[in-house]
Amino acid sequence: MALRISNLRQESHQDRSDLIAAISSRDGDTDVRFQRFSSVEGLESVQPRPDCFLILLLMHAMKTKQDILVEDPVDPHLLFHARGSLQTVLKLCFPELQTVNVEADPRDLRDAITTSDHVATGFSGGVDSMQLINRKIGDPQLPDDYSVSMLMHHKVGSVMRDSLYETNVEHAKRFSGEYGLELAGASCDTAKFFSDYSFLESHSMRTTAATLSLSPVYHRYLFASGTDLQVGLKAMPCRVIDALNPILLPMLRTRENEFSQFGGDSTRLEKMLEVLANHSLTGKINLCVRGSHDNTIFLNCGRCYKCFSFLLVAEAVGRLGLLSKNFDLDAYRDHRARAFTNFFVRSIGPKSMETNRQVAWFLRNHGSSKIPMIARMLLHLVPPPNATSVVGELLTPFE
Protein backbone atom coordinates (compact mmCIF):
# COMPACT_ATOMS: atom_id res chain seq x y z
CA MET A 1 0.00 0.00 0.00
CA ALA A 2 1.30 3.45 -0.92
CA LEU A 3 1.36 6.31 1.53
CA ARG A 4 -1.11 8.79 0.03
CA ILE A 5 -1.14 12.59 0.51
CA SER A 6 -4.49 14.09 -0.52
CA ASN A 7 -7.31 16.53 0.28
CA LEU A 8 -5.12 19.59 0.77
CA ARG A 9 -6.95 22.49 2.41
CA GLN A 10 -6.52 25.56 4.58
CA GLU A 11 -8.50 26.71 7.60
CA SER A 12 -8.53 30.24 8.93
CA HIS A 13 -8.52 30.90 12.67
CA GLN A 14 -8.39 34.09 14.68
CA ASP A 15 -4.62 34.07 15.17
CA ARG A 16 -3.40 31.46 12.72
CA SER A 17 -3.94 29.69 9.39
CA ASP A 18 -3.81 25.90 9.26
CA LEU A 19 -2.51 23.87 6.32
CA ILE A 20 -3.96 20.35 6.35
CA ALA A 21 -3.59 17.16 4.33
CA ALA A 22 -5.21 13.75 4.61
CA ILE A 23 -2.61 10.99 5.00
CA SER A 24 -3.51 7.39 4.22
CA SER A 25 -1.08 4.54 4.87
CA ARG A 26 -0.97 0.99 6.14
CA ASP A 27 -1.20 2.47 9.66
CA GLY A 28 -4.59 4.02 8.90
CA ASP A 29 -6.00 7.38 7.88
CA THR A 30 -5.29 10.66 9.63
CA ASP A 31 -5.17 14.40 9.05
CA VAL A 32 -1.81 16.12 9.46
CA ARG A 33 -1.97 19.80 10.32
CA PHE A 34 0.57 22.63 10.26
CA GLN A 35 -0.70 25.40 12.54
CA ARG A 36 0.90 28.50 11.03
CA PHE A 37 1.17 32.12 12.13
CA SER A 38 2.83 35.12 10.54
CA SER A 39 3.11 38.82 11.28
CA VAL A 40 2.85 39.52 7.53
CA GLU A 41 -0.06 38.71 5.29
CA GLY A 42 0.02 36.12 2.54
CA LEU A 43 -0.32 32.67 4.11
CA GLU A 44 -3.53 31.96 2.19
CA SER A 45 -2.59 33.90 -0.94
CA VAL A 46 -2.04 30.72 -2.98
CA GLN A 47 -3.67 27.35 -3.33
CA PRO A 48 -2.39 24.88 -0.70
CA ARG A 49 0.62 22.87 -1.83
CA PRO A 50 1.79 19.42 -0.73
CA ASP A 51 5.56 20.11 -0.71
CA CYS A 52 5.87 20.33 3.08
CA PHE A 53 3.98 17.06 3.60
CA LEU A 54 6.21 15.22 1.13
CA ILE A 55 9.32 16.29 3.04
CA LEU A 56 7.71 15.56 6.40
CA LEU A 57 6.83 12.00 5.39
CA LEU A 58 9.82 11.00 3.26
CA MET A 59 11.99 9.47 6.00
CA HIS A 60 8.97 7.69 7.48
CA ALA A 61 8.08 6.21 4.10
CA MET A 62 11.67 5.06 3.56
CA LYS A 63 11.78 3.53 7.04
CA THR A 64 8.46 1.68 6.64
CA LYS A 65 9.07 0.78 2.96
CA GLN A 66 5.98 2.56 1.65
CA ASP A 67 5.90 4.31 -1.70
CA ILE A 68 4.46 7.83 -1.70
CA LEU A 69 1.54 8.97 -3.85
CA VAL A 70 0.86 12.72 -3.89
CA GLU A 71 -2.44 13.69 -5.47
CA ASP A 72 -1.58 17.39 -5.92
CA PRO A 73 1.27 18.69 -8.11
CA VAL A 74 4.68 19.08 -6.45
CA ASP A 75 7.38 21.62 -7.21
CA PRO A 76 9.42 20.04 -10.05
CA HIS A 77 12.84 20.69 -8.49
CA LEU A 78 11.76 19.25 -5.15
CA LEU A 79 10.06 16.29 -6.82
CA PHE A 80 13.15 15.47 -8.90
CA HIS A 81 15.37 15.25 -5.83
CA ALA A 82 12.78 13.52 -3.64
CA ARG A 83 12.63 10.72 -6.18
CA GLY A 84 16.37 10.03 -6.12
CA SER A 85 19.26 12.14 -4.85
CA LEU A 86 17.57 13.27 -1.63
CA GLN A 87 16.93 9.67 -0.67
CA THR A 88 20.54 8.80 -1.45
CA VAL A 89 21.78 11.52 0.90
CA LEU A 90 19.43 10.42 3.69
CA LYS A 91 20.73 6.85 3.37
CA LEU A 92 24.27 8.12 3.99
CA CYS A 93 23.12 9.02 7.50
CA PHE A 94 20.65 6.19 8.00
CA PRO A 95 21.62 3.01 6.10
CA GLU A 96 18.47 1.24 7.32
CA LEU A 97 16.32 3.45 5.07
CA GLN A 98 15.08 1.94 1.81
CA THR A 99 14.55 3.72 -1.51
CA VAL A 100 10.87 4.27 -2.32
CA ASN A 101 8.96 5.50 -5.33
CA VAL A 102 7.41 8.97 -5.25
CA GLU A 103 4.48 9.36 -7.62
CA ALA A 104 3.26 12.91 -8.31
CA ASP A 105 2.80 15.34 -11.14
CA PRO A 106 5.26 18.24 -11.37
CA ARG A 107 3.72 21.62 -10.76
CA ASP A 108 3.64 23.92 -13.78
CA LEU A 109 6.24 26.64 -13.22
CA ARG A 110 3.83 29.14 -14.73
CA ASP A 111 1.97 28.78 -11.44
CA ALA A 112 4.97 30.00 -9.45
CA ILE A 113 4.03 32.70 -7.01
CA THR A 114 5.83 35.93 -6.23
CA THR A 115 6.83 35.49 -2.62
CA SER A 116 7.75 38.29 -0.28
CA ASP A 117 11.34 39.47 -0.20
CA HIS A 118 11.88 38.36 3.36
CA VAL A 119 15.03 36.49 4.33
CA ALA A 120 14.10 34.22 7.23
CA THR A 121 15.95 32.15 9.77
CA GLY A 122 14.89 29.80 12.52
CA PHE A 123 15.14 31.42 15.94
CA SER A 124 15.45 29.62 19.24
CA GLY A 125 17.58 32.21 21.01
CA GLY A 126 20.40 29.70 21.38
CA VAL A 127 24.05 30.03 20.44
CA ASP A 128 23.64 28.92 16.80
CA SER A 129 20.78 31.29 15.97
CA MET A 130 22.33 34.14 17.96
CA GLN A 131 25.57 33.87 16.00
CA LEU A 132 23.55 34.14 12.78
CA ILE A 133 21.69 37.16 14.16
CA ASN A 134 25.01 38.75 15.12
CA ARG A 135 26.21 38.51 11.53
CA LYS A 136 23.02 38.89 9.53
CA ILE A 137 21.14 41.90 10.88
CA GLY A 138 22.12 45.52 11.29
CA ASP A 139 25.14 45.32 8.98
CA PRO A 140 24.89 48.11 6.36
CA GLN A 141 27.36 46.26 4.14
CA LEU A 142 24.99 43.33 3.66
CA PRO A 143 22.79 43.41 0.55
CA ASP A 144 19.09 43.33 1.36
CA ASP A 145 18.62 39.81 0.06
CA TYR A 146 21.19 38.46 2.55
CA SER A 147 20.14 40.44 5.62
CA VAL A 148 17.68 38.61 7.87
CA SER A 149 14.29 40.32 8.09
CA MET A 150 12.11 37.50 9.48
CA LEU A 151 12.45 35.06 12.37
CA MET A 152 10.69 31.71 12.42
CA HIS A 153 9.89 29.72 15.53
CA HIS A 154 8.62 26.19 14.94
CA LYS A 155 7.31 23.48 17.22
CA VAL A 156 8.22 20.24 15.49
CA GLY A 157 9.65 18.10 18.25
CA SER A 158 12.50 19.82 20.10
CA VAL A 159 10.23 21.13 22.88
CA MET A 160 7.49 18.80 24.06
CA ARG A 161 5.97 20.81 26.92
CA ASP A 162 3.45 23.44 25.83
CA SER A 163 4.46 25.78 28.65
CA LEU A 164 8.10 25.85 27.55
CA TYR A 165 7.10 26.33 23.90
CA GLU A 166 4.91 29.28 24.85
CA THR A 167 7.77 30.79 26.87
CA ASN A 168 10.09 30.45 23.89
CA VAL A 169 7.55 31.97 21.49
CA GLU A 170 7.08 34.96 23.78
CA HIS A 171 10.85 35.39 23.89
CA ALA A 172 10.97 35.30 20.08
CA LYS A 173 8.17 37.90 19.90
CA ARG A 174 10.01 40.27 22.21
CA PHE A 175 13.27 39.80 20.35
CA SER A 176 11.73 40.33 16.90
CA GLY A 177 9.90 43.42 18.12
CA GLU A 178 13.05 44.95 19.58
CA TYR A 179 15.01 44.42 16.38
CA GLY A 180 12.19 45.33 13.97
CA LEU A 181 11.93 41.84 12.45
CA GLU A 182 8.86 39.99 11.24
CA LEU A 183 7.91 36.74 12.99
CA ALA A 184 6.36 33.55 11.66
CA GLY A 185 6.19 29.92 12.69
CA ALA A 186 4.51 26.56 12.33
CA SER A 187 3.53 23.85 14.79
CA CYS A 188 3.01 20.22 13.83
CA ASP A 189 2.94 16.88 15.65
CA THR A 190 5.87 15.31 13.82
CA ALA A 191 6.88 12.72 16.44
CA LYS A 192 4.75 9.91 14.99
CA PHE A 193 6.67 10.13 11.72
CA PHE A 194 10.11 10.07 13.38
CA SER A 195 9.53 7.60 16.22
CA ASP A 196 12.85 5.84 15.63
CA TYR A 197 14.89 9.04 15.34
CA SER A 198 15.92 11.66 17.85
CA PHE A 199 15.17 15.28 17.11
CA LEU A 200 18.83 15.98 16.33
CA GLU A 201 18.87 13.10 13.86
CA SER A 202 15.81 14.36 11.99
CA HIS A 203 15.50 18.08 12.67
CA SER A 204 16.67 19.18 9.20
CA MET A 205 13.69 17.39 7.64
CA ARG A 206 11.22 18.46 10.32
CA THR A 207 12.29 22.10 10.26
CA THR A 208 12.38 22.32 6.46
CA ALA A 209 8.88 20.84 6.25
CA ALA A 210 7.54 23.43 8.71
CA THR A 211 9.31 26.22 6.84
CA LEU A 212 7.89 25.05 3.48
CA SER A 213 4.40 25.23 4.98
CA LEU A 214 5.01 29.00 5.24
CA SER A 215 6.23 29.32 1.65
CA PRO A 216 4.28 32.49 0.65
CA VAL A 217 5.81 34.74 3.34
CA TYR A 218 9.56 34.42 2.67
CA HIS A 219 12.02 33.88 -0.16
CA ARG A 220 15.30 32.73 1.39
CA TYR A 221 15.79 30.70 4.57
CA LEU A 222 19.13 30.52 6.41
CA PHE A 223 19.48 27.31 8.39
CA ALA A 224 21.67 27.86 11.47
CA SER A 225 23.69 24.67 11.79
CA GLY A 226 24.74 23.28 15.14
CA THR A 227 27.52 21.18 13.64
CA ASP A 228 31.07 22.16 12.79
CA LEU A 229 31.30 20.75 9.27
CA GLN A 230 35.03 20.00 9.52
CA VAL A 231 34.18 17.63 12.36
CA GLY A 232 30.87 16.35 10.99
CA LEU A 233 32.07 15.55 7.47
CA LYS A 234 35.13 13.70 8.75
CA ALA A 235 32.83 11.48 10.80
CA MET A 236 30.71 10.45 7.81
CA PRO A 237 28.93 8.16 7.48
CA CYS A 238 27.19 8.95 10.75
CA ARG A 239 23.75 9.91 12.03
CA VAL A 240 24.56 13.63 12.27
CA ILE A 241 22.19 14.97 9.65
CA ASP A 242 23.51 18.52 10.16
CA ALA A 243 26.79 17.50 8.54
CA LEU A 244 24.94 16.88 5.29
CA ASN A 245 23.01 20.15 5.25
CA PRO A 246 25.26 21.78 2.62
CA ILE A 247 24.17 18.98 0.26
CA LEU A 248 20.69 18.39 1.65
CA LEU A 249 19.31 21.92 1.80
CA PRO A 250 19.82 22.90 -1.87
CA MET A 251 17.84 19.78 -2.81
CA LEU A 252 14.92 20.97 -0.69
CA ARG A 253 14.45 24.30 -2.44
CA THR A 254 11.43 25.08 -4.57
CA ARG A 255 10.80 27.57 -7.35
CA GLU A 256 9.85 30.17 -4.77
CA ASN A 257 11.92 29.27 -1.70
CA GLU A 258 15.65 28.76 -1.14
CA PHE A 259 17.46 27.09 1.74
CA SER A 260 21.07 27.79 2.69
CA GLN A 261 23.43 26.48 5.33
CA PHE A 262 24.93 28.90 7.87
CA GLY A 263 27.36 28.52 10.75
CA GLY A 264 29.06 25.29 9.76
CA ASP A 265 32.38 27.12 9.48
CA SER A 266 32.52 27.80 13.23
CA THR A 267 32.97 25.53 16.23
CA ARG A 268 30.52 25.73 19.11
CA LEU A 269 33.17 27.42 21.24
CA GLU A 270 33.82 30.07 18.60
CA LYS A 271 30.08 30.77 18.44
CA MET A 272 29.88 31.15 22.23
CA LEU A 273 32.73 33.65 22.23
CA GLU A 274 31.30 35.60 19.30
CA VAL A 275 27.88 35.93 20.93
CA LEU A 276 29.38 36.82 24.33
CA ALA A 277 31.39 39.61 22.65
CA ASN A 278 28.13 41.28 21.52
CA HIS A 279 26.87 43.13 24.58
CA SER A 280 23.40 43.68 23.08
CA LEU A 281 22.80 39.93 22.65
CA THR A 282 24.08 38.48 25.93
CA GLY A 283 20.95 39.40 27.90
CA LYS A 284 18.67 37.76 25.33
CA ILE A 285 20.21 34.28 25.02
CA ASN A 286 17.77 31.39 25.49
CA LEU A 287 19.52 28.01 25.29
CA CYS A 288 18.26 26.11 28.35
CA VAL A 289 17.04 22.50 28.16
CA ARG A 290 15.82 22.63 31.82
CA GLY A 291 15.12 18.90 32.15
CA SER A 292 13.77 17.92 35.58
CA HIS A 293 14.39 21.29 37.24
CA ASP A 294 11.98 23.52 35.36
CA ASN A 295 11.25 25.61 38.43
CA THR A 296 13.21 28.79 37.87
CA ILE A 297 11.82 32.23 37.12
CA PHE A 298 14.70 32.84 34.71
CA LEU A 299 14.73 32.08 31.00
CA ASN A 300 17.77 29.82 31.56
CA CYS A 301 18.11 27.54 34.60
CA GLY A 302 21.89 27.98 34.92
CA ARG A 303 22.61 24.32 35.73
CA CYS A 304 21.61 22.09 32.78
CA TYR A 305 24.39 20.85 30.52
CA LYS A 306 23.86 23.61 27.95
CA CYS A 307 23.65 26.43 30.49
CA PHE A 308 26.62 25.24 32.51
CA SER A 309 29.14 24.95 29.66
CA PHE A 310 28.08 28.35 28.31
CA LEU A 311 28.38 29.99 31.73
CA LEU A 312 31.82 28.47 32.27
CA VAL A 313 33.02 30.21 29.10
CA ALA A 314 31.24 33.45 30.06
CA GLU A 315 32.92 33.41 33.47
CA ALA A 316 36.33 32.75 31.92
CA VAL A 317 36.06 35.86 29.72
CA GLY A 318 34.54 38.10 32.40
CA ARG A 319 31.02 38.23 30.95
CA LEU A 320 29.13 36.31 33.65
CA GLY A 321 27.63 39.40 35.27
CA LEU A 322 26.01 40.46 31.99
CA LEU A 323 23.86 37.31 32.08
CA SER A 324 22.19 37.95 35.44
CA LYS A 325 18.82 38.88 33.88
CA ASN A 326 18.34 35.75 31.80
CA PHE A 327 20.35 33.08 33.68
CA ASP A 328 19.86 31.82 37.23
CA LEU A 329 23.41 32.55 38.36
CA ASP A 330 22.66 31.51 41.97
CA ALA A 331 21.73 28.04 40.70
CA TYR A 332 24.91 28.03 38.60
CA ARG A 333 26.98 28.62 41.74
CA ASP A 334 24.92 26.51 44.16
CA HIS A 335 24.89 23.40 41.95
CA ARG A 336 28.45 23.76 40.73
CA ALA A 337 29.72 20.42 42.08
CA ARG A 338 26.95 18.35 40.50
CA ALA A 339 27.06 20.35 37.27
CA PHE A 340 30.82 19.80 37.00
CA THR A 341 30.27 16.07 37.49
CA ASN A 342 27.79 16.02 34.60
CA PHE A 343 30.16 18.19 32.55
CA PHE A 344 33.02 15.71 32.94
CA VAL A 345 30.78 12.70 32.25
CA ARG A 346 29.78 14.40 29.00
CA SER A 347 33.44 15.14 28.27
CA ILE A 348 35.04 11.75 28.98
CA GLY A 349 32.28 9.14 28.92
CA PRO A 350 31.19 6.94 25.99
CA LYS A 351 28.72 9.59 24.85
CA SER A 352 31.14 12.49 25.21
CA MET A 353 30.24 15.76 23.57
CA GLU A 354 32.51 17.70 21.25
CA THR A 355 31.26 20.95 22.80
CA ASN A 356 32.37 19.92 26.28
CA ARG A 357 35.80 18.93 25.01
CA GLN A 358 36.15 22.32 23.31
CA VAL A 359 35.13 24.12 26.50
CA ALA A 360 37.55 22.01 28.59
CA TRP A 361 40.38 22.83 26.18
CA PHE A 362 39.49 26.51 26.37
CA LEU A 363 39.39 26.56 30.17
CA ARG A 364 42.78 24.87 30.38
CA ASN A 365 44.27 27.60 28.23
CA HIS A 366 42.26 30.71 29.12
CA GLY A 367 40.13 30.32 32.22
CA SER A 368 41.37 27.62 34.58
CA SER A 369 41.97 30.12 37.40
CA LYS A 370 38.19 30.76 37.60
CA ILE A 371 37.26 27.17 38.55
CA PRO A 372 37.90 25.00 41.65
CA MET A 373 41.23 23.18 42.02
CA ILE A 374 39.81 19.65 41.71
CA ALA A 375 37.90 20.58 38.55
CA ARG A 376 41.04 22.22 37.19
CA MET A 377 42.92 18.95 37.65
CA LEU A 378 40.16 16.93 35.96
CA LEU A 379 40.25 19.22 32.93
CA HIS A 380 43.55 17.62 31.95
CA LEU A 381 41.86 14.22 31.70
CA VAL A 382 39.49 15.41 29.00
CA PRO A 383 40.58 14.31 25.49
CA PRO A 384 41.38 17.12 23.07
CA PRO A 385 38.52 18.26 20.83
CA ASN A 386 38.29 17.13 17.24
CA ALA A 387 38.41 20.79 16.20
CA THR A 388 40.72 23.10 18.12
CA SER A 389 39.48 26.66 17.86
CA VAL A 390 41.65 29.56 16.85
CA VAL A 391 40.23 32.16 19.21
CA GLY A 392 42.85 34.92 19.25
CA GLU A 393 40.72 37.46 17.38
CA LEU A 394 37.58 36.52 19.30
CA LEU A 395 39.34 36.99 22.63
CA THR A 396 40.38 40.54 21.76
CA PRO A 397 37.10 42.17 22.97
CA PHE A 398 37.55 40.55 26.39
CA GLU A 399 41.17 41.60 26.96
The answer, yes or no, to whether residue 115 has pLDDT greater than 70, is no
**Domain check: are 29 and 87 in the same one?**
yes
**Domain check: are 144 and 215 in the same one?**
yes
Distance (Å, whole) CA 23 – CA 25:
7
Condensed to tens digits (0 to 9), the pLDDT of residues 120-145 reads: 999 999 999 999 999 988 777 777 77
**Domain check: are 164 and 39 in the same one?**
no
**Residues 233/245, Cβ–Cβ less than 8 Å:** no
Structural domain total, the chain = 3
Residue 250: give its domain's CATH number. Answer: 3.40.50
Strand, helix or coil at 370? helix
Q: What is the rounded average pLDDT of the residues 170-176?
A: 94
**Residues 159/287, Cβ–Cβ less than 8 Å:** no
H/E segment holding residue 9: strand 3-12
**Domain check: are 363 and 272 in the same one?**
yes
Condensed to tens digits (0 to 9), the pLDDT of residues 4-21 reads: 999 999 999 988 999 999
Smallest CA-to-CA distance from 213 within 20, 12, 4 is with 20
- Percentage of the chain exceeding pLDDT 70: 89
In this prediction, residue 325 carries a pLDDT of 93
**Residues 287/307, Cβ–Cβ less than 8 Å:** yes
> How many residues are recorded in the chain?
399
**Domain check: are 129 and 251 in the same one?**
yes
In this prediction, residue 230 carries a pLDDT of 64
**Domain check: are 37 and 165 in the same one?**
no
Strand, helix or coil at 21? strand
Tell which of 262, 282, 298 closes a domain. 262
Cβ within 8 Å of residue 134, ≥6 positions away: 274, 275, 278, 281
- Percentage of the chain exceeding pLDDT 90: 56
**Domain check: are 84 and 133 in the same one?**
no
Tell which of 241, 262, 283 closes a domain. 262
**Domain check: are 96 and 146 in the same one?**
no
Higher pLDDT, 57 or 159: 57
Tell which of 203, 233, 262 closes a domain. 262
Range of the domain at 69: 3-111
